[in-house]
Amino acid sequence: MDVSLIVLLAAVAVIQVTGSTLSMLSKSPVYIQAHALLEMKCVFKSISPNGVVRWFKGSVELSSPDFTVLKHQGYEILDNGDMLVVTTSTLTKNSIGAGDSGRYSCRVESLNEDIDVRVVTFQNTPEVVTNPGNPITVKCNVGSLAVKMKTKWKKDGVSLSALPELLQRIVFKDHKTTLEINNSSYSDTGKYECEMTAQEGEQQGNITHDVIIFGRPYFLDGNNQTEPHHGKAGLELRCVPSGYPSPVISWTKDSADLVTKATVMLHSHENIKKAVIRFTDFQVDDTGLYSCEAKNKHGSTVRNFQILEVSGAQSVFRRTHLVPLFLCLFTLGHNIH
């Protein structure tokens, strides 16, 4: 289960006592994503130089190694000529986590007011396409904070607005923090990114959350049907599946593991290893049934190519629509164009 966090800094503008002030520099509330750098500044102004700013979570004072507290002292001259001592205390933590939820306080001995920080979690579980056609629900769940956030969605880095076929099957719910994908297919698998922007207060860094839809491998052109490709180096058989996680390719020839040689080599395509068989000098013993299997932990799919030698004929490629089996007919001894 993925867990992401948002830190909601609630509270406190300025606390004032007899010429002394304690204030936060950030606008309230402040949002920050889990594992990012948390930084809060507390400024104490006083005529006396003796004020010490301290940070607490609940009743426990915060210190290294979990938190870092830095102090900077300066001066401010008022219109009446009085001089104030300005102490800036900065609390930081390199990677905020679930255990950091609680009540935080910025305190000075002469001032007994607290500043609240609340850490709110949002969670989701990955989805799996097991029955294409059924609805799939994708959640970027932030609970009651949904009304305080503006949400944008991407799939595999592409805005949903640029994916009209998918977008027309989506129903947005819960202030756009939930997507319901109707009439689902294996092509809906991938990484969905929920990008949030706070509509009030202040935001420290990006707030994004990834939701994964898994599914078995598939071919974008459907029906596992294709034709051999004439590349610059000769005939190519291409097996370029999609799916999440990325499929692994294996090849057989006449039901036995494919044996490569100098004139029959495997190549990568679109970052998929072994996706292409390339024939640079076709031989008689290269005829036969070639099959590629694309497999991940959710299933597999197979694409077949049948290569036959027909003497005296030109190169012909015929697509069969009943079985994912493809006939490649050509004359040996002639160049393949």
Beta bridge partners of 85: 46, 75
pLDDT at position 61 is 92
Q: How far is CA 306 from CA 5, 89, 230, 317, in A?
A: 53, 74, 16, 10
Return d(Cα 6, Cα 143) in angstroms, integer: 11
Per-residue model confidence (pLDDT) at position 224 = 54
Which conformational region is residue 333 in: left (phi greater than 0), alpha (psi within -120 to 50 degrees), or beta? left
Q: What is the DSSP letter of 3?
A: E
Structural domains in the chain, sorted by start: 2-121 (2.60.40.10), 125-215 (2.60.40.10), 229-330 (2.60.40.10)
Sorting pLDDT into bands at 50, 70 and 90, what band is 230? Answer: low
Task: Give me the mean pLDDT over the 32-55 stretch.
Answer: 85
Q: Is there a contact between 304 and 290 (Cβ–Cβ < 8 Å)?
A: yes
Cα dihedral sign, 15-19-20-24: positive
Is the bond into 245 cis (omega within 30 degrees of 0)? Answer: yes
Is the pLDDT at 233 greater than 90, yes or no?
Answer: no
Burial of 31 (0-12, 13-18, 19+ CB in 10 A): buried
Helix (H) or strand (E) holding 117: strand 116-124
Residue closest to 278 by CA, chosen among 230, 330, 331: 230
Q: In this predicted structure, what is the pLDDT of residue 314?
A: 36
**Mean predicted lDDT score pLDDT of the chain:** 79
pLDDT over 70 at 204, yes or no: yes
User: Does 18 have pLDDT greater than 60?
Assistant: no
pLDDT, tens digit, for every residue of 246-293? 899 999 999 999 999 999 999 998 888 999 999 888 888 888 999 999
d(CA 92, CA 41): 9
Residue 48 has pLDDT above 90, yes or no: no
